[in-house]
Amino acid sequence: MSRSGIWYTKHISITDSALQAPKLFRRSQDITLDNVHFRDAQETMWTCKDIKITNTQINGDYFGKDSQNIYLDNVSVIGNYVFDGGKNIEAHNCTFISKDAFWNCDNVTIYDSTIDGEYLAWNTKNLTLINCKIESDQGLNYIDNLVIKNCDFLRIDLTFEYVSNMDVEVNNMIDSVKNPISGKIEAPQIGSLIIDPEKIDPVKTTIICPKIEQRLDSSDNNQQAKD
């Protein structure tokens, strides 16, 4: 398939196929893909709507930028910046190996999946993670309305910075938490808890944790809180 194919297309279904060119699918609608292998998905599926992808492997940066109404099941993505600016995304049984995944998104729900990559989901609204495994350097920051249930944090540091309206239940240790704005965090252990009263109001966040190894009350000057 040639580079930059399938633009401005409606009602397309592809099954049992290999797609080997970048920049496929732009401004298209009603896309169904099953058992597809994207060898080079760089800048693919931009500004599309009503997408269903199942049993598919995707390799390439910037997949799904500014697209909306997306359903994924048994999808593997290896590539940075996946779904930047996406809206209304539901994923099941997926693997995302991606730096800056799900940035600037709205309404994302992910079930039973693995997410590995730094700076996960910055500047996103309405993010829900259920039964997931997560590894991310400085992941899950600058989010409004974050729900996490029954998830394992394999490694995550300096997380929840300026996150508001959070309801978080983690099964294992969180390496470090920094300046959450509001909500609840529940975990069996936190390595470092950084709560800077000059940056946020500590009383707005409830932290349920029987073991906090280190508490700090000062922090550096990163992005300012929006609350």
What's the pLDDT tens digit per position in 9-48?
999 999 999 998 899 999 999 999 999 999 999 999 999 9
CA angle 91, 92, 93 (to 5 degrees): 130
The full set of domain ranges for the chain reads: 1-117
Question: pLDDT (tens digit, 9 = 90+) per residue, 38-90?
Answer: 999 999 999 999 999 999 999 999 999 999 999 999 999 999 999 999 999 99
Rounded to 10 degrees, the C-alpha dihedral 51/123/135/154 comes to -110
The model scores a pTM over 0.85: yes
Listed residue (91, 84, 55, 46) closest to 70, CA to CA: 91
Query: Can you give 20-63 as a three-state secondary structure string?
Result: CCCCCCECCEEEEEEEEEECCCCCCCECCEEEEEEEEEEECCCC
